[in-house]
Amino acid sequence: MKKTVFAIILVAVVAGGAWLFLGKGDSSTRISDLPVASVQTGDMVIDVLEGGNIQALNYLEFRNEVKSSAGVKILEIIDEGYMVTEEDVKNGKILVRLDPSQLEEEIVDHDVQFQQTEAAYAEAKQNIEIEESEALSDIKAARQVLRFSLLDFQKFVGAEAADQVLKKLKLPFDTESLEIYEEKATALIVKAFDSKKLAESARSDEEMNPYDLEAESSLASNVNFGNFLKNELLGDGEAEQTIRRMKDEALVAASELSVKEESLEGAKRLFQKDFITRQTLDNEQVSLEKAELALQRSKTELELFRDYEFPKEAEKMLSKYEEALLSLIRTKREEMAKMSQIYARYRSAKRRYDLELKKRANLEEQVASCIIKAELPGLVAYGGAQENYYTSRYYDGISEGATLKTGQPIITIPDMSQLGVEVNIHESHIKKIELGQKVYITAESVPDKTLEGKIAKVAVLPDSNASRYNPSLKVYPATVEIDGTHEFLKPGMSAKVEIIVSELQDVNYVPVQSVFVEEDEHFVFRSDGNNYERHPVKVGAHNNDFIEVVEGLDEGEEVLLKMPDDYEPPQMEIARGPKEREVEKGSGVEAVAKKAVKKEAKLDKNA
């Protein structure tokens, strides 16, 4: 036990000695051994360096337009790198031939269905003309019944009396008022056929009981036609003629009765003188009774007509006219509902016909797209112009016999007269990039030639494909337009671009590695050849090599290019709690030794 404790203390002492030795060792570095740089004054270019691929800004791209889940095979395809000439375009040279057999089978199957759809469409169209003709005939017949019922009523009670009654009841009384009535009623019917209002009314009438419906009383029943006779309001109509006839018949019967009475008195005188027989006298008496009965019958018929037949017939004719008015509207409503159904079936048939027609045209267009002919002179390249790793990995390679997916790029013919470079700008530089900025381009295959261009397009949002597998990477696609035409450039070449952000004139600058930052403060280590000092500076713009010094240094002064090994940053006061102070008190070799002794004692106790 004592040996163990002694060994631990010995180790602690040795460790402490080593720490003192290292801590008090020579930590200074000779200034002459550190690299230095001088502050320079002159022009400074602020730029952004990026890499990218040369692409044609304008191109003709052919894609697979055959819509098939199984894809379509390439039967023939022109070799990649073939130069399409003006003669090829003129002769319609075939560049790609796809397999159209599946499409041709679909067209054959579609023809049968299309013929049925076409027949249904023709039938629906023909039914419109038939139903329209029948509807017009039914409405015409209802209109004629209405007109005749009005004439019958006017004929029976007389035109003036009929007008008076109809005006009082606010019903049409002549041809002009009938036309106005029909126009207003038709407008109401059309308005009532509004689908939205029909749906609302259907919802509101869900609890309606059909047995609660009561027929409305006829307007004719409210008219007292007896007053027409009492007040002599009838016109020169059929009823008035009937009354006159009956009155005439009564007058004739009364005259005949007077004649029979005189004849009977004469017969009695003759019988008393024995000039006639009893039989003759009895015959005269019978004739008188017949005349009396005829007179009584005529008076009764007149009274019955005036009190019963006339009001009944007048009300019947007025009610018939009223019913004819309703029948016309009902007929128009029924025919309109029927025509609405006919039109709905026609629209459905026409929509189906248009869809099938469009489908047929689409199939024919797909068959036509199976043959791709030359349309523009240029160099043939397989695939799409904007393909990258994230899109091309979903497609099979382009070759004869390969199966293409719908929308897959097949070949691209770039316009070599205007080339550019597609680059991705890191988010740390995107604020510096603006449209129209000057750019220097160097193709890696031709490093001795530098071309000029400008920024033509910058994306507003970062590239989602680039950040799919690395969410922390945010780059913005940009397009650099190369000035002029250059035969040695080919699409797909790698290139480096230098985007000129700004050009500073007559400024002080130092290498970027000579400037350090502590607590948002920029500083350098200024050197006089023997010693150095920490010196704060104010910096400006920078590029990959140099940084502008706005304040703090003059031309010719020297600064260190690396931080000296013996430099110690200024200590920062940090608020410490009780636990931190306890740890600080227990730090050092002594604390380590005490912890070791306690651990050893605990082990012995457990043993």
Question: What domains, with CATH codes, occur in the chain?
Answer: 2-25+572-606 (no CATH), 36-58+415-565 (2.40.30.170), 63-98+373-414 (2.40.50), 116-203+220-362 (no CATH)
132-136, 195-199, 395-399, 538-542: which is most confident: 538-542
Q: Which whole number is the average pLDDT over 139-155?
A: 83
Asked which of 228-232, 277-281, 348-352 is least confident by mean pLDDT, the reply is 228-232
pLDDT in tens, 303-320: 777 777 777 887 788 888
For residue 458, what pLDDT is reported?
A: 92
Q: Which residue has the higher pLDDT, 566 or 536?
A: 536
Mean pLDDT, rounded, of the chain: 78
For residue 392, what pLDDT is reported?
A: 55
Query: CA of 478: how far to CAs of 443, 458, 463, in Å?
Result: 17, 4, 10
> Whole-prediction pTM value?
0.50
Q: Which whole number is the average pLDDT over 201-212?
A: 44
Asked which of 195-199, 310-314, 344-348, 569-573 is least confident by mean pLDDT, the reply is 195-199
For residue 481, what pLDDT is reported?
A: 93
pLDDT in tens, 252-297: 888 888 888 888 888 888 888 888 888 888 888 888 888 888 888 8
For residue 536, what pLDDT is reported?
A: 93
- Which one, of 324, 333, 249, lies nearest residue 291 by Cα? 249
Q: Which residues pair with 457 in a beta bridge?
A: 479
Asked if the model's pLDDT at residue 90 lies above 50, the reply is yes
pLDDT in tens, 571-606: 655 444 444 444 444 444 344 334 443 444 444 444
**What is the spatial distance between Cα 324 and Cα 145, in angstroms, rounded to a whole number?**
6
Instruction: Provide the percentage of residues in the chain whose pLDDT is more than 90.
Output: 17
Asked if the model's pLDDT at residue 391 lies above 90, the reply is no
Helices (H), strands (E): how many in the chain? Answer: 13, 22
For residue 394, what pLDDT is reported?
A: 64
Query: CA of 5: how far to CAs of 12, 537, 588, 605, in Å?
Result: 11, 56, 18, 14
Q: Confidence class of residue 227 from pLDDT cuts 50, 70 and 90?
A: low
Integer Rg of the chain from CA: 58
**What is the spatial distance between Cα 534 and Cα 552, in angstroms, rounded to a whole number?**
11
Strand ranges (DSSP E) for 305-392? 371-373, 378-379, 381-382
